[in-house]
Structure formats: C-alpha cells, structure tokens
Amino acid sequence: MSTQRIGHTATLLTNGKVFVIGGYTLDEYGYSLPLNSVELYDPLTGLWTRSANMTIGRLSHTAIRLANGKVLVAGGSGSDGSNALGAISSAELYDPSTGLWTGTGNMTVARQGHTATLLTNGKILVAGGSEYDGYRNSGFLNSAELYDPSTRSWTKTGDMSIGRQNQISVLLTNGKVLVAGGYYFDGYDYGGSINSPELYNPSTGLWTPTGNMSISRQFSTGSLLINGKVLAVGGETDETFTNGGFLSSTELYDPSTGLWTNSSNMNTGRMTHAMCSLANGTMLVTGGVGYDPNVFMMPLNDTELYNPSTGLWSKTDSMKIARALHTATLLTNGKVLVAGGYSGAASLDSAELYY
C-alpha cells in the first residue's frame, strides 16, 4: 500500500477491487492522527492506486457496501488533519464509478467502535460504540440507528439493553441481526468484557435478549456459517487471566434454539485478528495478538482454518509477517487479501495473498 495503516477498513467493491480507507500509522515517535487517505487494490494487476481522500480522517469507523454498489462510511474517531476530534457523527458516500465522495446525513449520535450491518431491506443498522471525546466522557452507547440509502438520512431505532463497543454483529438467515459480546464502560468506574447477546428485529425495530455466550469476549470475530449458525472466535476476556485473557475458545449460536454451544478451541489464543469465509465455507483466521510472558501484545503470523462440517480447527500456512488490527478480504478469484496492521515494531504497508 502507499500508506502504513492500523485499524483501517477494507471493502470488496462490485468491480472486484478492494477499497481500503482510514486507520492510523505508528512509528518510533508515536501515533498519527486518523488518516483520510484511500487506496484501491486491483487483483488483476496486483497493484495499489490512490483514490480521492475522505473529507475527514477516521479510525474505528465502519465501511459497508450498499446494494447500489456505493460504500457508506460512518462515524469513528476523527481528525480534521490538525486536531483529533474524538468520536464523530459524520458519514460519507464513495462512488466507485467516479472515485469521488459525497456527504450524506450525519448520524444522530457521534460514535466510534460501533458495528454496521446491511439488512435485507437495503437499510444499514448501526449499533453501539462509544462517544469518547478524548477525555473521561466515554460512556458506551446502547443506541442504534438506521441509514436509508433511498433518502440518504438516518433515523433512530430501538435501543439495546446495554451499551457496548467492539462487539460482533451478524445478519442471520431469518433477517434478524445478532449482536454479541463487546466491552462495556459506564464512564466512571466500571468496565469489562460482556457475554450478553441481543437480537434486532427489523420488522419491529426492537431488540430482545437471547442466550448468553459461555464466556465474555471483546475484540473477537463473528461470522455466519453455511449451515446458518454463527461462529464467535477468540477475543479477550476479563473473566480469567490465563494466557493474558486471550481466548482460543470458539462457540456456535443456533438461531433455531437461541443457544450457544462450545466448539473446538483454536491452536492459539488471539484477539484483534481477522476472519473471513472462503469460497467453500471454511473460515480462515489470521494473525492478531496473543500471549507471550515476555512481550506485551505479541503479534502473530500463524493462521488457522475452521471446518463447519467437523467443527475442528487446523493450522495452515503462516503469513510472511506477523500482524494484528489488519484486514482480510475474500477476492472474487477465491484468494484472500491481507493488508496492513501492527507488527509490534511499527504499522505495516505490506499486503499478502492466501490461496
């Protein structure tokens, strides 16, 4: 890539290119302000090209492809290029056909570390996050809102029962959205990872509780399997200090029963990893940070495969570089593009392919 990035987003466009935006860089002098730069990866050439910058730098944002092929980018921790702005409410639309950005309505609440999920009706559900302003005012949000591409506007919808950020959010085959885990902080004294999940019903705009996970987890990943169940993987918990709280455990949510069951453990406990589904339905997990008694937040280069048919994990080829807070994107040719992240010494501009 042209820029080192940590905590960016990567979105597959309808033309087969990968759209990477935002994040931040890290060097021996510290952290950069959130980035407003954008670049595109072309699988046909293997090259990166720059595209028009966003109007505002952001990290801990969401980027999601709409049914019309445009990309909606919302919220995050922002920067005007000179100053950090804390959580922001602004949203922008990227049009791949022109390579340009246009403003769209602001969210009703400034938020970072939230989730965004494309519903079957074409609207986008944004939920949770925090309104961190760089100081102590960092209460976590239980609010949710909907973006309507036809009107380019946001409206409030039902609140979750608890504020959370860094949770997983998965669209189920029945059209409901499962939100699970994450981190809760009341803005004053109490904070911790949580195990509670909730279901959002687009027909009613309401949330209902469902079965708890077996352990609290944040910075985990979650994905819908080909059998309709949801796989939650790894993350960090404050329920145990074994292996630094980094989890190798995985569990399955069954929408037909509303219950979670434990699946087999990964070979390595990890958080801030990346996970994507391969063309055959197998899940690929890459990198993240794991436990090392001598190294704080040890980046990993190992990767693992989950077979939904057997429920078992197996090791596969390691990445060339250890990385966490990176992205992993399934390309239309069946390969997986892994880009950027944190290596332990600095942020990364490198990318590699898994196939």
Could you read off the pLDDT of 330-355 as tens digits, one per residue? 999 999 999 999 998 789 999 999 99
The reported pLDDT for the residue numbered 188 is: 66
- Asked if residue 264 has pLDDT above 80, the reply is yes
- Asked if residue 187 has pLDDT above 70, the reply is no
pTM assigned to the model = 0.95
Closest CA to 330 of 37, 5, 74, 13: 13
% of the chain beyond a pLDDT of 70: 96
From CA 224, how far away is CA 72, in angstroms rounded? 22
Q: Which domains does the chain have, with CATH numbers?
A: 1-164 (2.120.10.80), 211-354 (2.120.10.80)
Going by pLDDT thresholds of 50, 70 and 90, the confidence category of residue 28 is low
The reported pLDDT for the residue numbered 80 is: 82
- Please name the residues in contact with 34: beta carbons below 8 A apart, sequence gap of 6 or more: 22, 23, 24, 57, 58, 59, 76, 77, 78, 79, 84
From CA 140, how far away is CA 181, in angstroms rounded? 13
Between residues 84 and 322, the one the model is more confident about: 322
Please answer whether residues 90 and 102 qualify as being in contact, where contact means their C-beta atoms are separated by less than 8 angstroms: no
From CA 77, how far away is CA 6, in angstroms rounded? 13
Q: What is the pLDDT of residues 52-110, one digit of tens each?
A: 999 999 999 999 999 999 999 999 999 887 788 899 999 999 999 999 999 999 999 99
Residue 236, token pair as written in the block: 């960090």
Residue with tokens 């219950």: 259
What integer is the mean pLDDT of 220-248? 93
- Asked if residue 322 has pLDDT above 80, the reply is yes
The reported pLDDT for the residue numbered 138 is: 62
